[in-house]
Amino acid sequence: MKTFMFSLDTALKSLWQEKWINFLTILSVATGLLILSIFSVISLNADAVVKRWASEFGMIIYLDDSADRTTEERLQREFTNDPDIAQVKFISKNEAMKDLQNTLGENSSILEHVDENPLPASFEISFKNKNLDSLYVKKKTALIEKMSGVTDIQYAEKWLSSLSIVSALLKAGVIILGSAIVIAIVFITYNTIKIFFYRRRSEIETLKLLGATRTFIRLPFLLEAIFIGMAAGLLSAAALFGIHFFVTNKLPNFLPAVSMLKIILPAVVYLILPLAGAAVSFTGSFIAVGKIRY
Amino acid sequence: MIRFSNVTKQYDNDVVLKNLSLNVDKGEMVYLTGPSGAGKSTLLKLIYCAERPDIGQITVANWDIGKIKQSTIPFLRRNVGIVFQDFRLLENKTVFENIALALRIHNLNTQTIREQVNAVLREVKLSQKAKTYPPHLSGGEQQRVVIARAMVSKPTVLLADEPTGNLDDDTSNSIIALFREINARGTTVVIATHNHELYHGTGRRVLHLNNKNIEQESIG
Ligand SMILES: Nc1ncnc2c1ncn2[C@@H]1O[C@H](COP(=O)(O)OP(=O)(O)OP(=O)(O)O)[C@@H](O)[C@H]1O
Ligand SMILES: [Mg+2]
């Protein structure tokens, strides 16, 4: 415990004495963490958008003209009981016609010459969010298509699959970029701590000769790295908060379309950033102080 | 307390000590002398494990230096107070902090450290310089700080490498008196010096190092 307090004291003194190099290290690490968190947020949101849009598009199932009340009711029951389906809405031939008339508005007069209603009855269904990947939707479509009374199915397949690909690519990109940034941060803190270690090598040699344990020698460096990482994490969290605030509260004044994006940014990110910063920079410093030999 | 059996030590291909044996009993005060470059410092370094013997066996207290584990070395060194020939004071720490460091390593609390450091500062007559940084001290003052640091943790063995090299006769005598006092408390003391004034008339054992071995042993 006393060793810990002494190491803490040494680490804090060194933080101050080497404030410029520490400041630059914190800045570099914070930049890395900020880039990483921005990309993670983008990827997270892209994923959410894909799911939201897909569920809003849902799927339209057109019924055979010959389908009678019982068929309609049977399908309705089946869809309602399907655990994967979130919502079911039946649109009868008449309702479909009304919708069309409403859509056409004053141009609806062209419909006056149509004697028999040519529009099919349909079901609009939407899926539970968690199930929405394009493979799953394809499978489900094939199953529904085989049901009797169903003629055709329309859904945003192209959209869905290309969006899923974009989202998957983003995720892969974030993982690659993330690993690169983590390695870069490890390297940056490794370098900084190595420099400190090198500058204090004669002091360390003396400490060894006086009987200091490895922990006693290493701890100040490790603590300093943890402070650097944490400070960088806090800095990047503050920057992220600022950017988020700007995008949600200020940017819509110039770019109203932005307000349509409902940005998801879990608050836990602000906690993860300092912790991740500390952990990664601890790793770098741990490698830097290396194995101490007497 | 300290025992060398047929120890050979060489740097690269330069043999410094050859087939050397010696024995220092617990509570003894021994002088080690010899011309410059004879290997006095090397012999002391072998005791605190800063150098390893190439051949032979060394035991210090109950540790076999040849078999000691890396992680045990700090605990050996905590029992050995060293007055380094090149001082090894930390320039960016005050006299007080330099001495306190030897106790911080022992994980003592702040209050105990303060008391013990102040006591030892009085013994070496440097109480007024507690807050000074080593570069602002005279050579003799620096030497006394090193001595204070070596004795503050009350080691079982005290090794002093040329401890009076920078001191006038009066101060030298008071330092030797200090070593005698430490020795009287039960600490084993080994003093390396080429100043024969230091051991003359002390009645202690004097080991004469020359030609890679202890050529002669006398009583001072
Ligand atoms: N680290 C080293 N590498 C190579 N040679 C060394 C090393 N340390 C000492 N030597 C050599 O070993 C010999 C003994 O050196 P040592 O320092 O033990 O002598 P000494 O008796 O303490 O001398 P002095 O009275 O001048 O302090 C010298 O010739 C020196 O050049
Ligand atoms: Mg020497």
Return the domain boundaries, chain A: 2-52+163-291, 58-155
Q: Of B154, B171, B206, which residue sits at a domain end?
A: B154
Q: Do residues B4 and B57 both lie within one domain?
A: yes
Residue of A2, A206, A213 lying closest to B90 (CB–CB): A206
pLDDT for residue B167: 81
pLDDT for residue B99: 97
Supply angle C-alpha B83, B121, B84, rounded to 5: 10
Instruction: Supply the range of the domain harboring residue B107.
Output: 86-154
Q: Of B105, B128, B154, which residue sits at a domain end?
A: B154
Window B:25-64, CB contacts with A under 8 Å: 48-50
CA distance A78 to A88: 10
CA distance B95 to B137: 9
Q: Do residues B173 and B69 both lie within one domain?
A: yes
Q: Do residues B35 and B75 both lie within one domain?
A: yes
CA distance B108 to B203: 37
- Of all ligands present, the nearest one to the C-alpha of B210 is 1
Terminal C-alpha separation, chain A:
24
pLDDT for residue A131: 60
Arch. (CATH architecture) of A58-155: 2-Layer Sandwich (3.30)
Q: Of B123, B154, B185, which residue sits at a domain end?
A: B154
Q: Are B17 and B31 in contact (CB under 8 A)?
A: no
pLDDT for residue A57: 62
Q: Do residues B71 and B162 both lie within one domain?
A: yes
Q: Do residues B72 and B166 both lie within one domain?
A: yes
Give the amino acid at B97.
E
Q: Exposure of B150 by Cβ count < 10 A (0-12 exposed, 13-18 middle, 19+ buried)?
A: buried
pLDDT in tens, B153-165: 999 999 999 998 8
Retrieve residue A1's tokens: 């415990």
As for ligand 1, residues whose beta carbon falls within 6 Å of it are B 11, 14, 16, 34, 36-42, 85, 194
- Identify the residue whose C-alpha is closest to ligand 1 atom 28: B37
DSSP letter for each residue of A56-73: HH-EEEEEPTT--HHHHH
- Within chain A, residue ranges assigned H as helices are 2-17, 19-57, 69-81, 93-104, 134-145, 157-199, 201-210, 214-245, 251-254, 269-289
- Average of per-residue pLDDT across B104-121: 93
Tens-binned pLDDT, residue by residue, of chain A (294 aa): 778 888 888 888 888 888 899 999 999 999 999 999 999 988 888 877 777 776 666 788 888 888 788 888 888 888 888 888 888 888 888 888 888 888 777 777 777 777 778 888 888 888 776 666 667 777 888 888 888 888 888 876 666 677 778 888 888 999 999 999 999 999 999 999 999 999 999 999 999 999 999 999 999 999 999 999 999 999 999 999 999 998 888 887 877 766 667 778 888 999 999 999 999 999 999 999 988 888
The nearest CA of chain B is from the CA of A198 a distance in Å of 15
Q: Do residues B49 and B96 both lie within one domain?
A: no
Across the interface, whether the CB atoms of A211 and B105 are under 8 A apart is answered yes
Q: Do residues B201 and B108 both lie within one domain?
A: no
Q: Which atom of ligand 1 is nearest to the CA of B209?
A: 21
- Average of per-residue pLDDT across B159-183: 89
Q: Does B90 reach chain A within 8 Å, measured CB to CB?
A: yes
Q: Do residues B144 and B199 both lie within one domain?
A: no
Q: Exposure of A8 by Cβ count < 10 A (0-12 exposed, 13-18 middle, 19+ buried)?
A: middle
Give the amino acid at B164.
T
Q: Do residues B64 and B127 both lie within one domain?
A: no
pLDDT for residue A88: 87
Q: Are B91 and B98 in contact (CB under 8 A)?
A: no
CA distance B182 to A152: 102
Window B:160-219, CB contacts with A under 8 Å: none
For the entire predicted model, the pTM comes to 0.78
Q: Do residues B172 and B209 both lie within one domain?
A: yes
CA distance B147 to B161: 10
CA distance A61 to A125: 8
Across the interface, whether the CB atoms of A209 and B76 are under 8 A apart is answered no
Q: Do residues B70 and B165 both lie within one domain?
A: yes
Across the interface, whether the CB atoms of B105 and A210 are under 8 A apart is answered yes
CATH of the domain at B181: 3.40.50.300
CA distance B54 to B35: 23
CA distance A66 to A6: 87
Report residue A240 CA to chain centroid gap.
14
Q: Do residues B73 and B133 both lie within one domain?
A: no
pLDDT for residue A190: 96
**Which of B122, B26, B41 lies closest to B82 in space, CA to CA?**
B41
The number of distinct structural domains making up chain B is 2
Retrieve residue A149's tokens: 């009374």
